[in-house]
Chains A and B, each alone.
Chain A
Amino acid sequence: MSVESDAAQSAAIFAVDPGTGGVCLRSPLHPARDQWLLMLRQLLPAATPWRRVPFNIPDGRLLGGLDLAATLRANRPVAERGILAEADGGVVILSMAERLTADTVARIAAVLDAGEVVLPREGVTIRNAARIGVVALDEGASDDEYAPIALLDRLAFWIDLGGLSVRVTLQPAHSPGQIIAARELLSRVQISAEMLQALCATALSLGAGSARVSVLALRAARAAAALDGRTRVSEQDAALAGRLVLAPRASIAPEQPGQPQAEEQEKPAHGDKAPEQPAQDGAQKAEAPRAPADAHQALKDMVLEAAQSAIPAGLLARLREQSGDRGARARTGGKTGALRQAGTRGRPAGVRAGTPQGCLRLSVIETLRAAAPWQALRGRSLANGGRVRISAEDFRVTRYKQRARTLTIFVVDASGSSALNRLAEAKGAVELLLADCYIRRDQVAVVAFRGRSAEILLPPTRSLVRAKRGLAGLPGGGGTPLASALDAAHSLAALAQRRGETPTLVVLTDGRANVARDGTPGRELAHAQALYAARAVNLSKITALFVDTSPRPNPLARELAARMHANYLPLPYADARSLSSAVKTMGAGGA
């Protein structure tokens, strides 16, 4: 089955039952995407609302609220309907879905779940029906740029048109008449217990998402049956639903029957796959008598097979790479976190003209001030009560200034084992970074360690002068109390996290710890403690760069870096410039 026919099938099923949530169309600007949208539009009944939502839509427009301008004109509260309520019974197109902010997605998700917009505003709760289907246009260019998972989880179909040729033409598989007929039939479509079980079991063995996804697959199977003019979900319908809904979400490779069990941690998810497993038998017995179990198995295998054949190439490999917690976080939508809070907090920084919607706050005084010069023109007089006349263009909203600051903490090994010139390089890198700070508004701190303990040589600062003074008199030589150093850096970083800053650790060492926390020498204890401290850094989710300064890459250092979940960079001949550029690129990637 080709991508084209799958795309056409998904469009038809979605048109029959918008309750399947919708479609995520992943593709760059591409003729096939426009064709697909046109196809969907033609399949839907003519009067179906069709609304396009820009990714930066303000909440007032999305959900509706008090129309302040109209309210003032009418002298009574005038409610404004949002796009989602306007699209009731229709389709909402989200363009550039990969750029949607977490809170916009949260609202859309809430509306998708409830089928209505609930607005507790100005003492009244406004409820507007909003049974919508969503088409999310995901233009993410790289693998870690995705539409937010909170949205994806609610959309039944994920279609990737990226690989299609530019000259491809999408053919609708159904006519608008068939859609209307199928919609009428939909409420009468039944599904047998075996078919339902097969769908759920397939979802489980593919590790395909939450229980919500299974519900979506069921709806899709039902709509597929209605589309075919039947009132019973057949094997083909279930297989189609498995292929369109479950396969793109596969997170574990389903085993072939007879293949040995995978590693232990995957067992729970796989438990139902192998018929010889006692746990599986128990689960099935609870649902159905023993005898037809084989028939179930066959049915499930068929659905599973259909789904398996549709798993996109490379998806599983990518998932395996992303199984670390960093990967998981990257998939949940990266850059929105930093943007999310902009404009609503921080220090007030003047006012600007604008409507107080969403996160913007009306500045009452400034609004009145803006209205003042026009009062005579607007006919304010004592005769009409002497009220100030305000109109929409007078509105002023408060602006806030907030810096998303980062703190780069250098942990510099000044021990005898580490060549002395490393220190000079670190100093140089710090100074280069600080020179950049003027633009980037970042802070830098330095923790140095040698002899028996670590010290915070330079507390977080943005001052170049202070940094130079602090770094000037650092002598080298002595043991390597790595654990103490990591502890000190960790507590600095934790402090920064609490202040809402993003700390980054840069550790420059050869990784040969030989002084324990209490200052006693001893390689083994010191290394164990350093590993412990490194793991603590990872648990606090601090981004780290581990620069191995030993002449040859050192396995001990590599182990420490892995424990810290740090980027490992063997850099025997590091100079200040390459070091500072390594830190900068990491900052850009990790932020």
Chain B
Amino acid sequence: MRANQMKTSARPVFPFSAIVAQDEMKLALISSAVDSSIGGVLVFGDRGTGKSTAVRALAALLPPMQAVSGCRYGCDPSAAEAWCEECRERARQGPLKHALVPVPVVDLPLGVTEDRVVGALDLERALAQGVKAFEPGLLARANRGFLYIDEVNLLEDHLVDLLIDVAASGENLVEREGLSVRHPSRFVLIGSGNPEEGELRPQLLDRFGLSVEVSTPVELSERIAVVKRRDEFERNPLEFIAKWKRQDDGLRRRIVAGRKRLHGMVLPDPVLESAARLCMQLGTDGLRAELTLIRAARALASYEQADEVAVAHLRRVAPPALRHRLRRDPLDESGSSARIERAVLEVFGERRPP
């Protein structure tokens, strides 16, 4: 694939393990890499807190995946039920060839046109040769990977509608300019933004599995570490990456191991019950909150190689899984995080010393 070859020659990326603090954000990103069904991560916070850096670093961290060679949607050769029509056709003609490709991380720039997102009529071929051909868009490229939207809260409404639809169905349906195309488009949605600049539509908010808040470090030692590492990276990127390679490799191995263990993970009934009680206590709407909470706890447990999912895991993923699903309460001056903490204390009791 041409696009992927280009990717490898890209500029060096800041290593994931070298990001200072911001543990919740790192944890959420890793969890969604372990279990993509969690449904993406929303990173809201101040400027210059390493939001974009972390997402790009995660992309560089993920192990490559098997994809059908020549498939424009990067279909998984071992998942026949999710193939695109072209791959089905190919499979009828003979065994599919496949190759290792990097996990796609597709940037959705703010002012992008709808054509670029969903795909459109191939203009060049239509005008020059009179052929009606489909030119896949960003949603096709993001299949099986990550779709990253910086400043997601400024995204135009018609694109938001589109994303909400595709993120829910896992399939992109194009009906325009005489084309009628459908292709798989399953991706992990990652959004970042600064809440001061605008809010997110509730429907889109709900599509994100986890939501984390990042803030500028106010600890002097943290701040110094951030500046030091950033400076080191800017002065000699390759050397810096080499220095952090071992940590990054370890992280990658644990993510892969976590993915393997995920389906065998034991989920005891008391933990399920605790999750339900926590959601009821907070009055979150719908089952999605509970489902995400459980999935995130499971992903965390298997990433950390625990024997089974425990309440301690729930406790840690509760803020990111529930924070964006609370109703505003005019009487309660405290932020969502504080409310969740309080509910966690009420439901689970005091944290026991480890």
Contacts and interface: CB of A to CB of B under 8 A. Distances in A.
Contacts of B76: none
A102 B154 CA distance: 8
B175 interface: no
A337 B156 CA distance: 10
A536 B330 contact: yes
B111 A103 contact: yes
A33 to B, nearest CB: 27
Give the bracket for the number of chain B residues in contact with chain A: 35 or more
Contact of A120 (B10, B107, B135, B234): B107
B227 A107 contact: no
B49 A106 contact: no
Nearest to B328: A539
Nearest to A331: B196
Contacts of B121: 364
Nearest to A152: B47
Interface in A200-251: 200-201, 203-204, 209-215, 218-219
Interface string B327-345: 0101100000000000000
B7 interface: yes
B180 interface: no
Interface string A305-342: 00000000000000000000100110011000100110
A112 B49 CA distance: 16
Interface stretch (B164-172, B217-225, B284-292): B217-225
A204 B330 contact: no
A344 B106 CA distance: 22
A268 B223 contact: no
Contact of B220 (A59, A114, A125, A287): A287
Given A102-B154, A150-B47, A361-B115, A120 B3 contact: yes
Nearest to A536: B330
A123 interface: yes
Contacts of A359: 111, 113
Nearest to B151: A106
Contacts of B6: 124-125, 127
A488 B24 CA distance: 39
Interface stretch (A43-51, A71-79, A372-380): A71-79
A150 to B, nearest CB: 7
Contact of B130 (A104, A197, A358, A387): A387
Contacts of A302: none
A218 B130 CA distance: 58
Contact of B129 (A197, A203, A333, A387): A387
Contact of A272 (B50, B201, B220): B220
A284 B127 CA distance: 68
Contacts of A337: 198
A8 B45 CA distance: 35
B158 interface: yes
B141 interface: yes
Given A123-B2, A125-B3, A197-B224, A209 B158 contact: no
Contact of B196 (A215, A328, A532): A328
A344 B328 CA distance: 32
Contact of A284 (B3, B116, B194, B220): B220
B198 A200 contact: no
B110 A153 contact: no
Nearest to A68: B123
Given A113-B52, A124-B3, A153-B48, A345 B196 contact: no
A13 interface: no
A196 B228 contact: yes
A72 B2 contact: no
A120 to B, nearest CB: 7
Interface in A41-73: 59, 68, 71-72
B107 A118 contact: yes
A215 B223 CA distance: 10
A211 B227 contact: yes
A332 B46 CA distance: 12
B128 A72 contact: yes
A196 to B, nearest CB: 6
Contacts of A532: 330-331
Task: Please provide the 5 A-B residue pairs with the shortest distance between their CB atoms, ordered closest to farther.
Answer: A210-B48, A212-B48, A103-B111, A103-B110, A536-B330
Given A116-B10, A333-B197, 7 more contacts: A71-B124, A106-B111, A123-B136, A153-B47, A197-B224, A204-B223, A287-B224
